[in-house]
Amino acid sequence: MAEAMIRSRNPGSNERGRHGRMRIDTNTGLLEGVRQVGSPNCDERPAGVPVSLLVIHNISLPPGEFGGHWIDALFTNTLDPAAHPYFRTIAGQRVSAHLLIRRDGEVVQYVPFHRRAWHAGRSCFRGRECCNDFSIGIELEGCDELPYEAVQYERLIALTRSLMACYPAIGPGRIVGHSDIAPGRKSDPGPAFDWERYLGALRDGACTG
């Protein structure tokens, strides 16, 4: 794991994300001031396809448990199947997301925004399939039925503002849950996610507390 992690030179940007936008380096597709953990589970987007969709997910490893390095391990293909019975059921999966927001508000980036993360799987948005081609995926550390933390909403709102500014094709109507683009197959971010709190803050231009 240690060799996959690249510590940021400016960790304070995670804190600034509570109140405003977080800066994206458009040359590298990286957020400044967050922990970078490079995932091999990504590739090039199709040529000429703009980023135009934001997909909200949730993840917890093992299910319903928070903390630890297991999400990093999953996204870097280093998850030990012997460490927990559940891990044997997902051994060999090759998945990733662009970002993770942990329960304490830490933001981790696994894939640069200009590259295609493998987060949505079989999916369709308004008749257009293969949502990975044109979307950014953000994982919230959590599960469908447990409330998310206030700081996770704060980070998500700040990140969304930054992404909408950088990728103007992502409008309010193009922010969805995984369940919206893979109905019947996926349920996240689940009923515990407060869409009105999130989208209302984006409309109002205010962060939640």
Check if 139 is active-site.
Answer: yes
Residue among 139, 141, 149, 154 flagged as catalytic: 139
Distances (CA, A) of 98 to 4, 108, 114, 145, 201: 15, 8, 10, 23, 22
Strands (E), 19-110: 24-25, 30-31, 35-37, 42-44, 53-59, 99-101, 107-109
CA 21 to chain centroid, in Å, comes to: 16
The pair of structure tokens assigned to 132 is: 């990975």
Catalytic (active-site) positions:
139
